[in-house]
Amino acid sequence: GDRTAIIYDSPVTDTKHKISYAELQTRVASLAGALRAKGVEKGDRVLIYMPMVPEAIEAMLACGRLGAIHSVVFGGFAANELAVRIDDAKPKAIIAASCGIEPNRVIHYKPLLDEAIELAAHKPDFCVIFQREQEVAKLIEGRDYSWHGFQFGVEPAECVPVAGNHPSYILYTSGTTGQPKGVIRHTAGQLVALDWTMKAIYNIDAGDVFWAASDVGWVVGHSYIAYGQLIHGATTIVFEGKPVGTPDAGTFWRIISEYGVKALFTAPTAFRAIKREDPNGELLKKYDLSKFETLFLAGERADPDTITWAQDQLGVPVIDHWWQTETGWAIAANPMGIEPLPVKLGSPSVAMPGYDVQILDEAGNEMPAGEMGAIAIKLPLPPGTLPTLWNAEERFISAYLETFPGYYETGDAGYKDEDGYLYIMARTDDVINVAGHRLSTGAMEEVLASHPDVAECAVIGVMDKLKGQLPLGFLCLNAGCERGHDDIVKDVVKLVREKIGPVAAFKLAVVVDRLPKTRSGKILRATMVKIADGQDFKVPATIDDPAILDEIRDALGALGYPGQS
């Protein structure tokens, strides 16, 4: 009970504290008791709208203690998106914070929540507001309760037993079209799977510190900030900050050194940001990273350039692995706690136990090694993966099971080599068709990223009268790069011609300051395609900063896009 369960480190508020397992249990039982006293029962939904604070995890665990089903919505999501989720999950209660804190601004959660409840047809019975000292929100009498006041004098709750396949949570994943999909996770399957992965994949034992630098609003935060470490008796870190700018590109190293982190799990985009600010790793030299053993990457394709840089700087294995919101844990990985396999750059290694991964052609036939196709998983899926979507069984079938009968369709394209290593080349919609040749934008991005001046890049397919589609590259340059943009564009065009061939028809590239991304670091390629093709689009709710889209529009305009079709 004295072992540390949660380390809270918040450079944006200059706060640090640790919570032991015993203390966490007391807090969770108290919150659960207060929720139950207000009528929350097994099977009721509770929506959680909070930033990276330990209270967000306490709220998730309190729901679990009652058998209530939590649905965490990323803090600061727009009111309209929040309303859509309220109407889909129909929560009895909403637990929210008064605000979130970014490096240069406070995000007012409460007005967004009030507006969302107004927009939604479904109204929660009550809301619990965690008041942060940076901003005290106005409470609506009779509906809103303060976090501490609400728990005062309440009987703590014992654990409510549930069936193994009782839903533990609903997590909405933004579908590319309209309505978000509510992924369901079963209670027992998730805990069994996560506990297995902690040792088998991440080589973490009870008492070790495992840090997933993500957000509780995403699947990585559910699996590896909230649940995985705690079921395994390890220590988790709740980090409220950014890889750069809070205060500098050395923050990750400070945390690893200060808390003796054994393994870090983050998205490649974080390392690209650090590499761009501190290409020679000067800040790294200030810290003792002797306890640090492995860096795990996931969330988007890890380009070999970023992996090599991280490996050179840190001197530890850099392990790419691949999974989805839908699966909740790794489909393909390198099982560091069982037997580390040879690393192949650009591959998340091999399918994990329970996943029979196949590469299929459009007719659903299995493809030979080395040939690109749709990546699918033969049914049944292993424990801990999604059984269905919340209130949307038909959509579950049409989205995942219909294209290839007997398989779960991942929506990713790639190939397997002769050793069974998997290579994820693109989302199936990131495969472009240039004059009848199917080409992976991921492979082109890899070439662009290898240029010494390029910090980050993206390639999209734009409409072309002659060839159907043409690739177009966006380049972000390293800090302090002195060379002319035209020279760098000429370089990368030549590089793609050399490495992929004239067949790629790669002639268009433009330098931009930054790329549009979701808050979890995924590049919004589909939105960039729509801007280039002059199509109408909805600004994605998950976008980090909508102003970037105007910068992209200007950059495309300079290249003559959208053209007159």
Res 301: pLDDT = 78
Burial (CB < 10 A; 0-12, 13-18, 19+), residue 494, is exposed
Q: What is the pLDDT of residue 314?
A: 97
Residue 521, pLDDT score:
83
Farthest CA pair distance, the chain: 73
At residue 223 the predicted structure's pLDDT band, cuts being 50, 70 and 90, is: very high
Residue 414 has pLDDT above 70, yes or no: yes
Quick one: pLDDT at residue 165?
Answer: 98
As a whole number of angstroms, the distance between CA 551 and CA 454 comes to: 18
Per DSSP (E only), the strands in 216-367 are 235-239, 263-266, 294-297, 318-320, 332-333, 350-351, 356-360
Sequence letter at residue 391: N
pLDDT over 80 (residue 176): no
**Domains contained in the chain, CATH given:** 15-180 (3.40.50.980), 435-558 (3.30.300.30)
Give the helix ranges, DSSP H, for 374-450.
Answer: 393-396, 441-449
Compare 483 and 431 and report the one with higher pLDDT. Answer: 483
Q: Output DSSP code: residue 348.
A: -
pLDDT tens for residues 29-66? Answer: 999 999 999 999 999 999 999 999 999 999 999 999 99
How far is Cα 301 from Cα 286, in angstroms, rounded to an integer? 30
pTM: 0.86
- What's the confidence (pLDDT) of residue 332? 98
Band (187; pLDDT cuts 50, 70, 90): very high
Report the pLDDT value the prediction gives residue 174, as an integer from 0 to 100: 64
pLDDT digits (tens, 9 = 90+) for 446-467: 899 999 999 999 999 999 887 8
- The tens digit of pLDDT for each residue in 70-95 reads 999 988 778 888 999 999 999 999 99
What is residue 178's predicted lDDT score, i.e. its pLDDT? Answer: 55
CA dihedral of 258, 262, 267, 273, whole degrees rounded to 10: 40
Instruction: Identify the weakest region by mean pLDDT among 108-122, 173-187, 230-244.
Output: 173-187
The helix or strand, by DSSP H or E, that contains position 19, with its residue range, turns out to be: strand 15-20
CA 37 to centroid of chain Cα atoms: 34
In this model, does residue 177 exceed pLDDT 50? no
178 phi and psi angles, rounded to 5 deg: 45, -115
Please say if the pLDDT value at position 109 is more than 50. Answer: yes
163: CB partners within 8 A, 6+ apart = 187
Could you tell me where the DSSP H helices lie in 450-503?
485-499
At residue 487 the predicted structure's pLDDT band, cuts being 50, 70 and 90, is very high
Give the pLDDT score at 302.
82
DSSP single-letter state for residue 539 = P
Find residue 47's DSSP bridge partners: 71, 94
pLDDT of 440 reads 79
Confidence class of residue 565 from pLDDT cuts 50, 70 and 90? very low
| 326-380 residue pLDDT tens | 999 999 999 999 999 999 998 999 999 999 999 999 889 999 999 999 999 999 9
Measured in whole angstroms, the distance separating CA 11 from the mean position of its chain's CA atoms is: 21
pLDDT bin (cut points 50, 70, 90) of residue 564 is low
**Residue 103: which pLDDT band, with cuts at 50, 70 and 90?**
confident
User: What pLDDT score does 57 carry?
Assistant: 99
Helices 21-37 and 54-66: angle between axes, nearest 10 degrees: 60
- How does the average pLDDT of the chain come out, rounded? 94
Residue 449 contacts by C-beta under 8 Å, 6 or more apart in sequence?
A: 303, 304, 305, 306, 456, 457
**pLDDT value at position 297?**
94
Amino acid sitting at position 243: P
- How confident is the model at residue 80, as a pLDDT? 83
Per residue in 289-322, pLDDT tens?
A: 999 999 999 987 788 888 999 999 999 999 999 9
